[in-house]
């Protein structure tokens, strides 16, 4: 991938897309193509093919898709399945048709079985049933991961690369309580509780499940590393994680401290926990020379600083 190579960054305004943009620019890549959702509907095949025919990108980071937390996944499973499958299918077909050099697709750790040996190795995919609360999204992501392998196999190329990052967080995350992931939800809940001088905050579940989180800029760095070393990759997915997990209870405590909330944290046991543990074995990718650099406390501090800046900006409008 040369510094002036034409790069299409799908989903450039989102959590990962923003981090990818920052990383590519800092690394000197200057020829990036971006389209907003209103400018290019990726679920529409004709629009996607017209775009690839006109722009002819050589490298694609497919960071676009429908994402959300437990509540949203439980409420709209068909949407999560359809939207993500449609985007993947259209972009994969166009990338093959117009001979993209390499495309990176992002899977999800929720694609691993609900009951799975820990830490989860790439070969554990499809060895058991997925977690029911994210079934539609997980199946779509599994299809994308398998899609990368079979496209390469059928067409005898190494065009498609599947990366499976664990739960991401960072600036530009979704902080909507109804459909956000756990860390962004914790930040907002504790921030609002601090502002309102609340005595306590009630959180879903028992707090016992363990989760691994990775800062969005670490995933962006891993992505650029993968693209630059694409010719050395196997035709199989690669986990992207930190190798460290925490109980949700501990994460809540760390987040409350960073935000400055000093009240009581309560746990609503009537609400679901989700999978009990989701820790990836990322040793295969790390053995190539990449390592994460941003720990959970630094990442949370940077995320909360961004959230505060956005809150101030919105209040001033």
Q: Which residues are catalytic?
A: 137
Q: Are 77 and 133 a contacting pair, CB within 8 Å?
A: no
Cα–Cα distances in Å, from 143 out to 78, 105, 151, 231, 278? Answer: 15, 11, 12, 23, 20
**Vertex 142 angle, CA 139 and 146, to 5°:** 140
**Rounded Cα distance, 235 and 102, in Å:** 12
| CA atoms lying within 13 Å on the CB side of residue 179 | 11
**First vs last Cα of the chain: how many Å apart?**
41
The answer for residues whose C-beta is within 8 angstroms of residue 145's C-beta and 6 or more apart is 105, 107, 111, 125, 162, 164, 237
**Rounded Cα distance, 185 and 181, in Å:** 6
């Amino acid at each position: 991938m040369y510094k002036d190579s034409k790069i299409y960054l799908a989903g450039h305004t989102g959590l990962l897309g923003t981090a990818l943009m920052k990383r590519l620019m800092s690394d000197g890549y200057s020829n990036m193509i971006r389209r907003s959702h209103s400018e290019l509907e990726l679920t529409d095949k004709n629009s996607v093919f017209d775009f690839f025919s006109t722009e002819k990108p050589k490298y694609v980071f497919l960071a676009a898709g429908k994402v959300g937390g437990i509540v949203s996944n439980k409420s709209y499973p068909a949407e999560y399945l359809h939207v993500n499958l449609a985007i993947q299918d259209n972009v994969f077909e166009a990338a093959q048709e117009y001979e993209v050099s390499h495309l990176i697709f992002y899977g999800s750790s929720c694609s691993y079985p609900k009951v799975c040996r820990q830490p989860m190795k790439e070969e554990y995919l499809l060895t058991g049933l997925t977690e029911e609360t994210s079934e539609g999204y997980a199946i779509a992501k599994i299809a994308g991961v398998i899609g990368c392998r079979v496209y390469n196999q059928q067409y005898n190329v190494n065009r498609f690369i599947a990366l499976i990052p664990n739960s991401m967080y960072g600036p530009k995350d979704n902080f909507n309580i109804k459909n956000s992931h756990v860390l962004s939800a914790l930040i907002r809940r504790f921030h609002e509780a601090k502002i309102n001088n609340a005595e306590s905050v009630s959180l879903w579940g028992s707090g016992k499940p363990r989760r691994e989180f990775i800062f969005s800029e670490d995933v962006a760095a891993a992505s650029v590393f993968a693209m630059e070393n694409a010719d050395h990759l196997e035709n199989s997915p690669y986990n992207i994680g930190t190798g460290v997990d925490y109980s949700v209870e501990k994460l809540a405590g760390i987040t409350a401290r960073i935000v400055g909330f000093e009240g009581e944290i309560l746990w609503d046991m009537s609400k679901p926990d989700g999978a009990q543990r989701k820790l990836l074995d990322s040793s295969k990718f790390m053995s190539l020379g990449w390592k994460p650099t941003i720990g959970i406390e630094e990442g949370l501090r940077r995320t909360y600083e961004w959230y505060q800046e956005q809150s101030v900006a919105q209040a001033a409008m």
